Amino acid sequence: MKKTLLATAIAGALGVSAAAQAATVYDQDGTQIDIYGRINFAVTAGGVDDAKFDGFDADGNPVLVQTEKTSGSEFRDVNSRIGFRARHQLSSDLQAFGNVELRPRMDAVNDDGITVRNTFVGLNSNQFGMVRVGNFDSVFYSAVTSMFDVPEWGGYTTLDGGSISSRGDSVQYSTPNLEGFQAHVSVKHLSGNGQDIGEQDNSSTVSAAGAVSYEIDGLYLAAGYNQSKGVSRKTDRGASYDGGAAYAGGEDIWGVSARYAFTPALSARLTYQEVASQFDQATLEEQKNPHRLIENLWGLGATFDYGMGEVYADYYRVRMALDQIDSQNRWNVGVNYRFSEPMYVYAEIWDTDFDTDDSVSDLNDDLGYAVGIRYDF
């Protein structure tokens, strides 16, 4: 998901500021309704074929069995969407708002259904802050990790891409902007209804997250925590996530990030993220795709605006959760060209592991490619 103006994107993710290309379709009696969206198509190729973890061989190396071809060329929809944003001015300092966002697959005729995303209601005050209820990205993602969510298709690596302990049944509060400082907290309700009655605790619970950020001149700093409470395990609660999920590799995710604009055209970004309470190796092996789970990562990236578009690149050093899988180096590079403010074309290349051990190199050392076109409205 390309973010042209990072500061604006982060503010929009945490609040309800209007999208840059949003069109007002109703404005009367203090109520304003905007429509916004994007159409994003790409042809992708390369990357990693899907593989299933099948234990370890006699030498302790992970056995990965190819299950499905995914590295061939494909014309695909890249997170196209349409949304409606409503605001009503209750007083000079208090605003009620609501948001509905839908994501159909737009690249071909289909009956796949429509994904419901970013649907919430709330109140916003310059003096007291913002509260919202519903379905939205995690505060950890919005404040800490979203600055690396630059590529349109491949290469973005994180412990929380927005879904951890969020995207449904959630409540969030953000303080006002206090001379560049903001704090954000959220809780997600996890219901025990519908679970089997047995020895485990089936009571409802919550999973919490929080983040703080500070911005001054061209510098942005953020730190965050996501509880990522594990449930539906034999030794834990029998509650369940409705929308979003816990991180499969453990609980208590934390991270920090920084971004600095050296000039209006050039900015750099840095992040560190870690799973503080990682599951033991036996529990990890029971998860789906345990060979992809991450213990911690460093990330370094930069974006340069050359006038008619941007060049962007990121590098990650990733420590894997399974002891038998070596640390990985991941990178991505992309460039876009703008025909106009709402429409641009892009090309990207990425590698998810370019110096891993020989036992899995035949699966993970393939480059991925994407070329596409996007129109925002």
Q: Is residue 33 part of a domain?
A: no
Residues 169, 62: Cα–Cα separation, whole Å:
37
Taking 70 as the threshold, does the pLDDT of residue 5 lie above it?
A: no
Nearest alpha carbon to residue 14 among 151, 158, 242, 215: 215
Mean pLDDT, residues 40-57: 85
In a domain, 118, yes or no: yes
* Secondary structure (DSSP) of 7-43: HHHHHHHHS-PPPTT-EEEEEETTEEEEEEEEEEEEE
Radius of gyration of the chain (CA): 21
Distance of CA 360 to the CA centre of its chain: 27
| Residue 241, CB-side half-sphere exposure with 13 Å CA sphere | 22
**Can you give the residue range of the structural domain that contains 201?**
38-80+106-376
CA 1, chain centre distance (Å): 9
62 inside domain: yes
Q: What is the pLDDT of residues 315-364, one digit of tens each?
A: 999 999 998 888 999 999 999 999 998 999 999 999 987 654 444 444 44
Is the distance from CB of 66 to CB of 51 less than 8 angstroms?
A: yes
Of residues 311, 308, 274, 12, the one with CA closest to residue 150: 311
Helix (H, G, I), strand (E, B) or coil at 363: helix
Q: Torsion over CA of 353, 162, 164 and 242, rounded to 10 degrees?
A: -130
Query: Is there a domain that residue 32 lies in?
Result: no
Is 16 a member of any domain?
A: no
Instruction: Name the residue with higher pLDDT: 353 or 151.
Output: 151
Q: What CATH number did the domain enclosing 201 receive?
A: 2.40.160.10
Mean pLDDT of the chain: 88
Quote the pLDDT of residue 145: 96
52: in domain:
yes
Q: What is the mean pLDDT of residues 152-158?
A: 94
Question: For position 51, what pLDDT does the model report?
Answer: 78
- The confidence score (pLDDT) of residue 237 equals 66
Tell me which H or E stretch contains 272. Answer: strand 266-278
Look at residue 86 and tell me if it is in a domain.
no
pLDDT digit string (tens) for 280-297? 888 888 888 888 899 999
pTM of the model: 0.87
DSSP 374: E
Q: Is the pLDDT reported for residue 62 higher than 90? A: no
Amino acid at residue number 201: D
Residue with tokens 């290469």: 155
Q: Is the pLDDT of residue 93 over 60?
A: yes
Distance in angstroms (rounded) separating the CA atoms of residues 10 and 310: 18
In the chain, how many H helices and how many E strands? 4, 20
Report the number of distinct structural domains present in the chain. 1
Residue 230 lies in a domain: yes
